[in-house]
Amino acid sequence: MRATTKLFPSSRTSLPSACLAGCLVLLGAPWLSSALAQSPAPGDIVKRGEYLARAADCLPCHTQGKATPYSGGRPFELPFGTIYSANITPDRDTGIGSYSDDEFVSALQSGVGRGGKHLYPAMPYTSYTLLSRDDILAIKAYLFSLTPARAQAPENTLMFPFNQRWGMIAWNLAFHRDARWAPDASKSAEWNRGGYLVEGLGHCGECHTPRTLAQNVDKSQALAGTLTQGWKAYNITSDGQSGIGGWSDDAIAAYLASGHAPGHSSASGPMGEVIENSLRYLTPEDIKSMVVYLRTVAPIRNAPPITTTVSTAPTGAASLGQRLFASECANCHSWDGTGSQSPYADLVGSRTVNDPGGTNLLAVLIEGAQYHFPRETTFMPPFARGHSNDEIAAVANFVSATFGNNTARVSAADVMKARSPAPALIPTWVISSAIAAALVIALLVLWLLVRLFRPARPQATA
């Protein structure tokens, strides 16, 4: 068996997992490479849009299981309910076939769809707002070239008042800056392109940046990593200890393009999806520009150092975790953690085996992994059904102690929780406050309407 662990994981099907970390280029901008900046012939717009849509990682978010690609219906579990992704095929009744150019651009830049319908930021328009109109319309051209799929997404199941879309008007006023990417003239062309990719279409911050109680990203902790529904999206700031500041440029580029970086392990989980469906298709120039930009992200230190010291082969009486590793894992990962069958099975240097919470280690043990990466197809079977909570906890702790910094203290209760991860619930006082605010706003609007349309009183005559 082959195993993968992950460095930049994100949510299973979470808010930010919506169009998890795909990356595009701003075609036509003066600071892009000449090959990509050339204005395409009319017949090329669909091909360009396909590249953009693929790079944006639209496919996995807008496809549920083995359903028709882009037909929607994938659930995203939030602290206040579940949202289902939209059908973005050109079907006129259940998809986007009736969208005009302006309506499609508005949806991606402003979060307001056809008929003035306010979208929830599970569709990351707060990042897409940086995109150019030309890029957005190229994506639309590609989507409209697809075969229409008649597929109605399930109704969202959100608690009150979050099921009231008009509430997004206030949220957008507070947290959404509707503005396009503005190149920084003091920075290089590569840096500007990389910023467009990471902050815009890549919307990396939607998964790698913590959120406040209002569910907006906390920009003071940009790309510092966060926990979302059973997976950690790790710190990807320039910090040398907690982030990727200690990685070489080649290592970061290799990870983004192939899902594996020697000495830093491999991608799995939602990040595996991003590599498989998106980043692997980006040009080397685009990948390099992302690396250049990520190098300049302000460092934030919030995780312990990664160790690359590996324990020697076990001797003496074996613990439960050691016995399980010997029978289930050593064949692929080997006792030195370098991966005997595939470099993707390398454990050494991975944040996953150096995480005190063991969050992603548990996730990959429970769920397994299978992805089609450029170099090979990786596979690790899930251990959820064949092993007890105690057994999975034991092997997780053994792996952390042997190949990591020995900080994980995983319990059987942790494994049980990881088997069925649920989004952290919003505190009751927050819900109560939101309901109260909604009522106050509704009463205020009603009062204004009454004042506006109330007939004028007749003037008294002398």
Of the two residues 426 and 205, the one the predictor is more confident about is 205
What are the two backbone dihedrals, phi and then psi, of residue 372, each rounded to the nearest 5 degrees?
Answer: -100, 95
Gap between the Cα atoms of 356 and 407, Å rounded: 5
Looking at the predicted structure, is the pLDDT value of residue 1 above 60?
no
DSSP string, 206-223: HHHS-B-TTS-B-GGGTT
Q: Does pLDDT of 397 surpass 80? A: yes
What phi-psi label fits residue 2: left (phi over 0), alpha (psi between -120 and 50 degrees) or beta? beta
Whether 261 shows a pLDDT value over 70: the answer reads: yes
Q: Which residues contact 291 (CB under 8 A, 6 or more apart)?
A: 194, 249, 252, 253, 256
Q: Collect all residues with Cβ–Cβ distance below 8 Å to 154 and sequence separation of at least 6.
A: 73, 75, 84
Question: Residue 34: pLDDT above 90?
Answer: no
**Which token pair is 448?**
């204004």
Model confidence band, residue 272 (pLDDT cutoffs 50, 70, 90) = confident
Q: H-helix or E-strand containing 260?
A: strand 260-261
Token pair, residue 410, equals: 């995983």
Residue 24 predicted with pLDDT over 50: no
Domain boundaries, the chain: 320-419
Could you read off the pLDDT of 131-158 as tens digits, one per residue?
999 999 999 999 999 999 999 999 999 9
Distance in angstroms (rounded) separating the CA atoms of residues 432 and 391: 42
Residue 377 φ then ψ, to 5°:
-90, 125
Separation between Cα atoms, residue 26 and residue 392, nearest integer Å:
45
pLDDT at 17 over 60: no
pLDDT 10s digits, 38-58: 334 445 999 999 989 988 889
pLDDT over 70, % of the chain: 83
Q: What would the CATH number be for the domain defined by 320-419?
A: 1.10.760.10
Sign of the four-CA dihedral 211, 216, 217, 221: negative
Contact 302, 224 (CB under 8 A): yes
CA distance 279 to 258: 8
Task: Report the distance separating Cα 450 and Cα 447, nearest Å.
Answer: 5
Residue 310: CB partners within 8 Å, gap ≥ 6?
A: 336, 337, 348, 402, 403
pLDDT at 15 over 80: no
Q: 443 pLDDT band (50/70/90 cuts)?
A: confident
Q: What is the mean pLDDT of residues 278-285?
A: 93
Q: What is the pLDDT of residue 341?
A: 80
Compare 316 and 31 and report the one with higher pLDDT: 316
- Choose the weakest-confidence range: 62-76, 408-422, 426-440: 426-440
pLDDT of the residue at 12: 39
Question: CA–CA separation, 381 vs 365, rounded Å?
Answer: 8
Pairwise CA distance, residues 49 & 54, whole Å: 8
pTM of the model: 0.81
Whether 361 has a pLDDT exceeding 70, the answer reads yes
Question: Can you tell me the mean pLDDT for 283-303?
Answer: 96
Spatial separation of the C-alpha atoms in residues 177 and 57, rounded to whole Å:
23
CA 406-410-416 angle, to 5 degrees, is: 160
How far is residue 4's CA from residue 365's CA, in Å, rounded to a whole number? 10
Q: HSE-up of 73 (CA within 13 Å, CB side)?
A: 18
SS3 helix, strand, coil % of the chain, rounded to 5?
Answer: 40, 5, 50
The alpha carbon of residue 289 and the mean position of all alpha carbons in its chain are separated, in whole angstroms, by 19
- DSSP output for 362-374: HHHHHH-EEEE-S
The b/e string for 424-446 (b: 16+ C-beta within 10 A; e otherwise) is: eebeeeebeebeeebeebeeeee
Contact predicate 207/199, CB 8 Å: no
